[in-house]
Structure 1
Amino acid sequence: MMNEERTRLRVHIRWMIRRDMEEVLQIERGSFEFPWFEEDFVRCLRQRNCIGMVAECGEKIVGFMIYELHKTRLHILNFAVGREARRKGVGDQMVRKLIGKLSSQRRTRISLEVRETNLDAQLFFRSTGFMATSVLREFYDDSPEDAYLMQYECAAEQEAAHVHRLAG
């Protein structure tokens, strides 16, 4: 089992297309207590600033991410990896792809909200360089649960903030 968990799946990351929806919905339902419905995905992806991507292993979709483009940041709205592909580097490859879209001139950070009860997601995002920056009280419509706002900052931005703190 340990060797299986250490095995890194090589995935191809591409834009999400309509044909992917059935597999994406299966991953979504297998991942969350309060999953998005197909209409939620469609409504979101119809917005000009909303992008979907999938991670494919062979012909099978093993993960997906929906994010929004904002002027100075990217905002992850939904992110999941199928149960059979978890802890095999799929999520890490997807986050690295998104981090690669940051630049010190334009979009310098990535943000997302994580349920307070979703410890696996908190630990995963922390392991990829995100930090919890605030608590959002009763953030969700479907429960009174709080969320953690987690953010990743471009290396140049982190360095500038560090220098600023030292100078101040």
Structure 2
Amino acid sequence: MEKNRENLNNQNQDLPQDLNSILGLDTQLNTNNLIIRPMRKEDIEGVHMVEVDCFDDPWSKKSLMDELKNNLARYLVAELDSVIVGYVGVWFVVDEGHITNVAVHSNYRGQRIGDRLVEEMVKLCKSEGLVSMTLEVRSSNTVAQNLYRKYGFKMAGVRKEYYSDREDAIIMWNQLSEL
């Protein structure tokens, strides 16, 4: 019965929230089995699927593989029941970490997976001796901005027309020693 309900949930995620409630479908996923771990070569296909789902101009599988070979890059994946549902990446630049991407597949958003990814990446950067972290985020992406603020990031500036569609980027910094 529980498995059938889960299958219905997955099939009906596009239904309006109130209709899901009327049908008695639980829109929350069980994330007890969520694992945050370093990205491996065999994760590239799943990470690329997240990329394609999340971004208009996704990184190629080759670019993702190149990142795995980059000694100055660290990537973590969110794995739920053997499925890659999200990932986060950072480049090490001297004593700073530059977050490249934080992405959670649209079918798994609203489950605090992004929180877990950012939290674990901040911990990783601190453990590697970095003193600060930075990132750019779309000015329209207030959900992501609020997530980053939760983990100590503060707005530091704006990059005008930064994205290919000419949207501005908000520059955010986190002084890790202040946490």
Instruction: Provide TM-score, normalisation by structure 1.
Output: 0.79
Match for residue 178 of structure 2 among 154, 158, 162? 158
Matched, 1:133 2:156: yes
- Tell me: CA distance 1:122–1:16, structure 2 relative to 1, closer, same or farther (3 Å): same
1:86 corresponds, among 100, 109, 123, to: 109
For residue 12 of structure 2, what is the aligned residue in structure 1?
none
Contact map agreement 2:40 2:68 (CA 8 A) in 1? no
1:34 deviation in Å? 2.2
Q: CA contact under 8 A between 2:96 and 2:133: conserved in structure 1?
A: yes
Question: How far apart are residue 104 of structure 1 and its match?
Answer: 9.2
Change in 2 beyond 3 A, CA 1:23/1:106: closer
Could you tell me which runs of 5 or more consecutive residues in structure 2 were left unpaired when the two chains were aligned: 1-16
**Whole-Å separation in 2 of the counterparts to 1:39 and 1:131:** 33
Q: Is the Cα contact below 8 Å between 1:8 and 1:89 reproduced in 2?
A: no
- What SS does the corresponding residue of 1:121 show, helix, strand or coil? helix
Matched, 1:21 2:44: yes
Percent of matched pairs sharing the same residue: 28
Matched, 1:55 2:75: no
Q: Supply the distance in 1 between the matched residues of 2:151 and 2:31 (Cα, whole angstroms).
A: 17
Give the letter for the 1:148 counterpart.
Answer: I
The structural deviation recorded for 1:105 is 9.4
Amino acid at match of 2:113: V
Would the alpha carbon gap of residues 56 and 105 (structure 1) be closer, same or farther in structure 2, given more than 3 Å must change? closer
Residue 144 of structure 1 corresponds to which residue in structure 2?
A: 166
C-alpha spacing 1:15/1:105, structure 2 compared with 1 (3 Å): closer
1:105–1:122: structure 2 CA closer, same or farther, 3 Å change rule? closer
User: Deviation at 1:8?
Assistant: 6.5
Alignment RMSD (CA, Å): 2.4
Question: Whole-Å Cα distance in 2 between the matches of residues 13 and 94 of structure 1?
Answer: 7
Q: Matched residues in 1 for 2:127 and 2:107: separation?
A: 36
SS at match of 2:124: coil
Gaps of 5+ in 1: 160-168
CA distance in 2, matches of 1:92, 1:151: 17
Asked if 2 retains the 8 angstrom alpha-carbon contact of 1:8 and 1:90, the reply is: no
How far did 1:46 drift? 2.6
Match of 1:108 in 2: 131
Q: 1:39: Cα distance to partner? A: 2.6
Give me the whole-angstrom Cα distance separating, in 2, the residues matched to 1:34 and 1:114: 15
User: Are the equivalent residues in 2 in contact too, given 1:31–1:83 (CA < 8 A)?
Assistant: yes
